[in-house]
């Protein structure tokens, strides 16, 4: 497996680590998303301890408004964060 493929699999594995924790297969509840953000994205996202920030992220990601985040709904968050990190690297 290439380095990039390994990192992509890592994103999938982290999503699954949090999505199956409470018995929901392949979706994240708001609480599960919050735990993922608090433990995995604390250096990347600001105000992660602010519930209003978590609520906004969750509502923005939950495209079908079913109260769960699927992997397909989660991917845009990762894409946005990667693009932001890329931009920040060029600012240094």
pTM exceeds 0.85: yes
pLDDT value for 12: 96
Encode pLDDT of 54-91 as tens digits: 999 999 999 999 999 999 999 999 999 999 999 989 98
Q: How far is CA 59 from CA 3, 13, 56, 63, 85, in A?
A: 32, 23, 5, 8, 23
Indicate the domain borders of the chain. Answer: 3-91
Token code pair at residue 77: 């968050």
pLDDT at 28: 96
The pLDDT tens digits of the residues spanning 8-41 come to: 999 999 999 999 766 667 899 999 999 999 999 9
Q: Is the pLDDT of residue 5 over 70?
A: yes
Domain 3-91, CATH = 1.10.238.10
């Amino acid at each position: 497996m290439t380095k990039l493929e390994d990192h992509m699999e890592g994103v999938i594995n982290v999503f699954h680590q949090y999505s199956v924790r409470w018995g929901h297969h392949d979706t994240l509840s708001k609480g599960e998303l919050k735990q993922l953000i608090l433990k995995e994205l604390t250096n990347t996202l600001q105000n992660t301890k602010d519930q209003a920030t978590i609520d906004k992220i969750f509502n923005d990601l939950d495209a079908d408004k079913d109260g769960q985040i699927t992997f397909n709904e989660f991917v845009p968050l990762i894409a946005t964060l990667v693009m932001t990190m890329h931009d920040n690297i060029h600012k240094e």
